[in-house]
Amino acid sequence: RSGETVRAAAAGDVVYAGSSAGKVTALDVNSGERLWTATEGAVSPVQVAGGALFLVSDENRLVRLDAATGAVVWGVELPYFTKDKVKKQQQIHVPYGPLLAGGKLFVASSDGLLRVYDPVAGSLIGQAEIPGGAATDPVVAGGTLYVVGRNGQLHAFR
């Protein structure tokens, strides 16, 4: 479809493809057979680990799906907009991630926070400030998490 973005990840013999049009599908690499389809879209790359699939949905939720069935295990609402009108416009917040690293799930946001979630339960377990808000997906290298802020600065977290 025009304007649709597809985000994919592979694990074993399965490719998981999510799109901003409201679906995530698991496909068998060898046969091309569709294994399941979930009604959660993915606005960022999906992360696969330990029988789970993590994504930020097209409904602005951090979601964990069962990688074998596509069933929703949990979903957490992410900040979507500033409730107070700023210059008579509501500011929309953009989430970046998720990134699974060190047994934790990280989501950076243009609202100025890096949020850390428990991947098993989906509970918020920490957060750190990103001055000016995030502008990129977080990445990890050498035990340090990096994210670029909207002001162009590179921020590093340990």
Report which DSSP code applies to 132: T
The predicted structure's pLDDT at residue 43: 87
What is the CB-side half-sphere exposure of residue 106 using CA atoms within 13 A? 24
List, for residues 19-54, the tens digit of each pLDDT value: 888 899 999 999 999 999 999 989 888 999 999 999
> Does residue 1 carry a pLDDT above 80?
no
The predicted structure's pLDDT at residue 2: 42
List, for residues 119-157, the tens digit of each pLDDT value: 999 999 999 999 989 999 999 999 999 999 999 999 999
The predicted structure's pLDDT at residue 5: 62
Chain length of the chain: 158
Query: Cis ω on the peptide bond leading into residue 98 (within 30° of 0)?
Result: yes
In DSSP terms, which residues pair with 2 in a beta bridge? none
Tell me which of 30-44, 62-76, 81-95 is least confident: 81-95
